[in-house]
Amino acid sequence: MLKQLNSIRYMYIRSHLYGLILNTFILLSILLSIYVWFQPDWLSAGAILMFILLYVVLGFIMSLYAGFRSSGDVKHRLDYISMMITQLSRGNFSKRIYFNENDEIAAVGDELNVLGEKLEQQKDSLVKLADEKSELARTAHKAATIEERQRLARDLHDAVSQQLFALTMMAQATEKIFDRRPEKAKEQLQEITQMALQAQTEMRALLLHLRPVHLSGEPLTEGIKTLIEELRQKCQIDFDVDMEDLGDLPTSVEEQLFRVVQEALSNILRHANASEVKVEATHDQKEIFLHIADNGVGFDTEDKKANKASYGLKTMRERCEEIGGTYSLRSRKGEGTHIDVRVPVKANEKGEEK
């Protein structure tokens, strides 16, 4: 009830009633002044009272009628504006309103029409940008897939394929001298065994890249531990794993860090000739720290930058930069290799994108 009394229609009625009261007091003051000063025969106190009562009753009725009539048009126009705002809030930016009058309410309607046009243009621009972004993402994913396939094909040709060819040649040569020079044949068989083990290691390293990037709902630490456990069963390498519970991380961060670990372990299997590997992961309120080290042959980092084999190192750096992290590599010949990754993570970012 109180809400209705505060509506625009009742505000108009109240304004007319205020005018009626003011006019009543003014008229009463004039009549009383005439009665007191001039005391005409035709004007008496009863006549004044009767006239004022009749004036108030008729004025009250006219105020109600005038208030409803004068507020009706304004109320309808304000209702149209309210409907326009509701349509805009629901995303219907093509809605328009037009008034024949040329007053302030019509000006508000014109401003809302302009706002709707601008919102519709922005909506179309956002849809176009979203389509372009989606197309770019598909193109980038396709290019990355092609590039990864080309790299795997190149690695298979440069490493495994050549080793298998060398194995074939040595096996044929050993077969020819097996009866005449058994000692020499024995030495070549040992070399064949070493080459086969090396080819097997190369294949395991390359197969790491074919492992799905998704962790199948597992936390990052569990995914890395599962990966290392598989390598333990297949490789003669002692893995030292020290990983804290990193909590709920954004999916993009987990996937990129998992790929970095895959690439690092692949490089260790293929190039390091290491017997010990340490994987460590810690975190605090500001960042995640990932450390991967081996006791392998190491390399000169400056020479490595100009080598085709540095593709994996470049990929790891790019993956870290994509999630806002930093990548540090330390290595010397005969002293192994150390990789440090730091990724800033805010507390309110944990768990998003899950």
Domain map (residue ranges) of the chain = 2-90, 214-354
The runs of H, that is alpha helices, within 38-103 are 45-89
Percent share of the chain, pLDDT over 90? 12
Write out pLDDT tens, residues 142-195: 887 787 677 666 666 555 666 676 677 777 777 777 777 878 777 778 877 877
Better pLDDT: 110 or 158: 110
Quick check: 108 pLDDT over 50?
Answer: yes
Quick check: 306 pLDDT over 50?
Answer: no
Q: What is the pTM of this model?
A: 0.50
Cα–Cα distance, 255 to 37 (Å, whole number) = 100
Cα–Cα distance, 354 to 351 (Å, whole number) = 6
Strands 238-243 and 276-283: parallel
Phi, psi of 55 (to 5 degrees): -65, -40
Q: DSSP assignment, residue 270?
A: I
- Lowest mean pLDDT of 20-24, 209-213, 257-261, 273-277, name the range: 209-213
Better pLDDT: 142 or 351: 142
Cα–Cα distance, 296 to 124 (Å, whole number) = 57
Write out pLDDT tens, residues 35-82: 888 888 777 888 888 888 998 899 889 888 887 777 777 788 888 888
Cα–Cα distance, 148 to 146 (Å, whole number) = 5
In one-letter notation, the amino acid at residue 4 is: Q
Residue 286's pLDDT band (boundaries 50, 70, 90)?
Answer: confident
Measured from the Cβ of residue 65, the count of other Cβ atoms closer than 10 Å reads 12
Quick check: 213 pLDDT over 60?
Answer: no
Phi, psi of 339 (to 5 degrees): -120, 125
Average pLDDT score over residue span 75-93:
85
Cα–Cα distance, 262 to 228 (Å, whole number) = 10
Architecture of domain 214-354: 2-Layer Sandwich (3.30)
Quick check: 29 pLDDT over 70?
Answer: yes
Q: Which residue reads 């390399």 in tokens?
A: 299
